[in-house]
A = this chain, B = another copy of it.
């Protein structure tokens, strides 16, 4: 009998109880062991639950679980840094294996936790911390173990993807859709972490570390959220064949890496462009395998619990084989970040300019001066706007040059506003 302690009985914890109890026979076949959730840490034992649990299993004291020598595995689904981190480290100290869904913790203190696990010969698995039900960590670590991954692009935040999908499909403004998402429970009352891209940045930290074998930290990720995206951006993008998505983008070239989260114009034909609503997807490019994409639910009670319990199955299989803690992932490459000269992408730029002869020539000359070549230029009068609008899509241009171009634009009288600048993919 494998005895499990569960820290947290919120959405994901409830799903874990449902799957472990509902799939007993299948889990027994999969692992050769009956699995029992012995104790559950809750904030309030008296609270009503949507899942029926034996009330004697509930405790308000984490150390009832951590100090129980009968418990083999601790599943942490509380979220947040503390006290989750202290509990996990204490449980590892006692030789317990860990399954966690905690992206904040793994993004910020993953290295410390994995080092403690290696020291103690314990498993720490965290599939559910990125992209909910999509087994993307297994895919990176095992499925592509033979390949060199050079690019990972992820739609890894369901809230923002829901908002952007609605804005695209209904031509609605950001503020309206956010309110609707909050009413439906797809966005939090304080949506900052989602809409400013911080949640996605944490997940990209984990994916980049695994994919590139170098310890990427949250500070390395350049982050821009979706709150500045306008209806016009989405409309003009669509006319040119692009969909706006909040993408986490991790790239590697010659051992130099860059990681960012930003609203991106994604070409309609790219597999990420048709990932809609609260769904998540991770696109992985490997030197040998080429283009791949993994799609599924990024959150939710049962999808996330599926990944948590799959990790539990892996711990139990290792227990049977006596090989826990033997496959700890240790990044073996030195982290070198790309400079602005090394980061290149296509760009979408929307300018409001004076409507007179010669303006376009002046603008294109600036691009030429910094050796940024252009893929397409679209100038059209806007009936709602006395200024002319110019949309430019560049070829691949390095960021240093782009910054210089934009700086020049700021000082030009004929340019009234640099309305939007987006990275372009696909």
A residues contacting B by CB (< 8 A) are: 15, 18-19, 23, 26-27, 29-30, 127, 133-135, 138-139, 142-148, 213, 271, 274, 279, 286-297, 300, 302-303, 305-310, 312-314, 317, 320-321, 323, 326-327, 332
Contacts and interface: CB of A to CB of B under 8 A. Distances in A.
B133 A142 contact: no
A45 B226 CA distance: 60
B314 A288 contact: no
B144 A135 contact: yes
A138 B148 contact: no
Contacts of A133: 286, 288-290, 292
Contacts of A135: 138-139, 142-144
A136 B142 CA distance: 12
Given A143-B138, A295-B271, A23 B332 contact: no
Contacts of A303: 288-290
A219 to B, nearest CB: 25
B138 A142 contact: yes
A58 to B, nearest CB: 23
B306 A147 contact: yes
B302 A288 contact: yes
B296 A289 contact: yes
A246 to B, nearest CB: 19
Given A135-B139, A313-B145, A321-B321, A289 B271 contact: no
A242 to B, nearest CB: 15
Given A321-B326, A323-B323, 13 more contacts: A30-B146, A139-B139, A142-B310, A145-B313, A146-B309, A146-B312, A146-B313, A147-B310, A279-B291, A289-B297, A292-B297, A293-B295, A320-B326
Given A146-B310, A146-B313, A306-B144, A293 B296 contact: yes
A292 B296 contact: yes
A26 B139 CA distance: 17
Contact of A323 (B287, B302, B314, B321): B321
Which of the listed residues A15, A288, A300 has the most CB atoms from chain B within 10 Å of its own CB?
A: A288
B142 A314 contact: yes
A147 B309 CA distance: 9
Contacts of A314: 142, 145
Nearest to A283: B295
Contacts of A30: 145-146
Contacts of A144: 135, 306, 310
Given A293-B295, A297-B291, A326-B321, A332 B29 contact: yes
Contacts of A27: 146
30 contacts: A18-B288, A23-B147, A23-B148, A30-B146, A133-B288, A134-B292, A135-B144, A138-B142, A144-B306, A144-B310, A145-B310, A145-B313, A146-B308, A146-B309, A147-B310, A271-B274, A274-B274, A289-B296, A289-B297, A289-B302, A290-B296, A290-B300, A292-B294, A293-B293, A294-B294, A294-B295, A295-B295, A320-B326, A321-B321, A323-B323
